[in-house]
Amino acid sequence: MGASQEPGANASNKAGETPTQVGHPADVEEETTVTEEGTELERSIGLVGGIAIGVGTMIGAGIFVFPGLAAGRAGPAAAGSFAIGAVIALLVALPASELATAMPKSGGGYYFISRALGALPGAVVGISIWLGLVFATAFYLVGFGNYAAEMLQQAGIAVGFGGLGVVTPLALVFGVLLTGLNLFGTENAAKLQNYVVGLLLTILVLFLSYGGLDAVGVFGRSSTPETFMPFGPMPVFTTAALVFTSYLGFAQVATVAGDIKNPGKNLPLAMVGSVLIVGVLYVATIFIATSAMGSQELMRAGETAIVNVANQFLGTLGVVAILLAGLLATVSSANASILSTSRAVFAVSKDALIPQQASRMNMKYGTPHVALAMAGGPVLVLVALGETEVLAEVASFLHLIMYGLMCVALIAMRRDEPEWYDPDFRVPAYPVVAGLGAIASFGLIAFMQLTSQIIGAVIMLAAAGWYKYYASDVELKGVL
């Protein structure tokens, strides 16, 4: 079940259906169609849409939650923590880009790992990432509910119980709407993502431009600069482990590779480009926030720190603008995560590692409706339960495992070089890049809470148990 196997279909098929076989990735048509015999996705997402998925998933906690927490730990040097996170993300994005151009299929990390390392590691990653994305999506939707409730209060609209009473209902409604939007066509979801991310970036660029001019003294009140690294170098690295959750979105581009037009060109550009865009925004945000308020004041503001910064710059107008940006960020993150979750389920189902009914397609809209239900349904349950903060960190744990194994998968593929492995993009100095990416990904897990480490490990063990019970006779043969 290694990388040297020839392309083909599953030897074992739980549902008695045979997935459509596709030739070399270079021969994949830019636009595929859905037939009764096949389950291929329509390639309807271009470069802008791919970048929007990556940026839209990542723009969120790094700007709207972490500035106060990060500044309290590392001071102004928290900007360096975000920069470290971006470098690590790039170390993983490059191997992921090569694997994605060789195997431009839905499922992303699951697909690469299963073809390079075998069905068991693939099943553990595929099932774990499905659940990890479910947890993350629920977290984004609860965040949306909080921002929406606060926005209603700012508008003077009575929301009851101080706004707390409408958080869960708003999150549930938008969870249903976003799942439905993805059901009615990937292109519709991608268009929404493009518009949302475009408006979000416009607000953030204007806000950061104003704040940047203020920080360098073009206008605004003068301030005494803080010591850049007041707590020494170590907190910079521990803070990098904390804020790395802000960079999880770039890999979601690979998860929807089966929907990307011209994947050989657009996949690497979308993954690397989204990391660079978000990394610059995060570093600029911390620099401006610490210049405007100081680390200690940001720490006292906590998760609302960026709203306080906006209020200091522009008063009520700034608060409303940032609240709107927070709404857009949480919507875009949830939308991209629902799309990616369904594609992870779709890919694992096609390989018969879970029942293949999950890979059935809606013939009218060309979308995997069962997989979408398996993505959106559990999300709504978690939203209703509420407690999602620890689950969000568990999602980060599971993603870091996947990132490290993707780097290992690249080394395995280059070592074996099966005949069908012919990526359009190759990582320069791949042993160094992939090796550093794997070490950095696994290493960051050591800085997480013990509770999150235990829950993540239990999920992986449960996924391995499911594979042994249900799918141990499945044989994966190269690229489907």
**Model confidence at 39: pLDDT above 80:** no
**Model confidence at 336: pLDDT above 50:** yes
Model pLDDT, residue 18:
36
User: Would the CA dihedral through 448, 453, 456, 457 be positive or negative?
Assistant: positive
* Local confidence band at 438 (pLDDT 50, 70, 90 cut-offs): very high
Model pLDDT, residue 34:
42
Question: In 3-state terms, what secondary structure has residue 243?
Answer: helix
Q: Compute how many other C-beta atoms are within 10 angstroms of the C-beta atom of residue 200.
A: 24
- The single-letter DSSP state of residue 224 is P
Q: How far apart are CA 199 and CA 202, in angstroms?
A: 5
Model pLDDT, residue 386:
64
Extended beta strands in 331-430, E state: none
**Model confidence at 461: pLDDT above 90:** yes
- In this prediction, residues 451-473 reach a mean pLDDT of 87
CA–CA distances in Å: residue 368 to residues 106, 125, 193, 207: 11, 20, 19, 39
**Model confidence at 108: pLDDT above 80:** no
Quick one: tokens of 36? Answer: 């009764």
What is the DSSP code string of 241-303?
Answer: HHHGGGGTTHHHHHHBGGGBSSHHHHHHHHHHHHHHHHHHHHHHHHHHHHHHH-HHHHHHHGG
Model pLDDT, residue 143:
77
**Model confidence at 24: pLDDT above 70:** no
Model pLDDT, residue 352:
76
Model pLDDT, residue 217:
65
Quick one: tokens of 173? Answer: 């409604």
Per-residue model confidence as pLDDT tens digits over 404-434: 999 999 999 999 888 888 888 899 899 999 9
Enumerate domains of the chain plus CATH numbers: 45-471 (1.20.1740.10)
**Model confidence at 346: pLDDT above 80:** no
**Model confidence at 147: pLDDT above 60:** yes
**Model confidence at 382: pLDDT above 60:** yes
Q: Compute how many other C-beta atoms are within 10 angstroms of the C-beta atom of residue 269.
A: 16
Instruction: Note the pTM of the prediction, 2 decimals.
Output: 0.75
Greater model confidence, 183 or 353: 353
Residue 56 CB contacts under 8 Å (≥ 6 apart), including other chains: 193, 196, 197, 200, 249, 329, 332, 333, 335, 336
Q: Which of 123, 132, 198 is nearest to 340 (CA)?
A: 132
**Model confidence at 182: pLDDT above 50:** yes
Q: Are 137 and 338 in contact (CB under 8 A)?
A: yes
Q: How far apart are CA 361 and CA 346, in angstroms?
A: 9
* Local confidence band at 365 (pLDDT 50, 70, 90 cut-offs): low
Question: In 3-state terms, what secondary structure has residue 105?
Answer: coil
What is the DSSP code string of 125-169?
Answer: HHHHHHHHHHHHHHHHHHHHHHHHHHHHHHTT---SGGGGGGHHH
Residues in the chain: 480
Per-residue model confidence as pLDDT tens digits over 308-326: 888 888 788 888 888 888 8
Q: How far apart are CA 196 and CA 325, in angstroms?
A: 9
**Long-range contacts of range 297-306, CB-CB < 8 Å, 24 or more positions apart?**
298/67, 298/68, 298/71, 298/72, 299/68, 299/69, 299/71, 299/72, 300/68, 301/68, 302/68, 302/69, 303/64, 303/65, 303/68, 303/69, 304/68, 305/67, 305/68, 305/71, 306/63, 306/64, 306/67, 306/68
Question: In 3-state terms, what secondary structure has residue 260?
Answer: strand
Q: How far apart are CA 226 and CA 296, in angstroms?
A: 10
CA–CA distances in Å: residue 405 to residues 106, 115, 399, 435: 17, 12, 10, 10
Of 174-188, 280-294, 423-437, the one with minimum mean pLDDT is 174-188
Model pLDDT, residue 10:
39
Q: Which of 320, 305, 313 is nearest to 208 (CA)?
A: 313
Alpha helices in 351-423, H assignment, sequence order: 369-385, 389-416
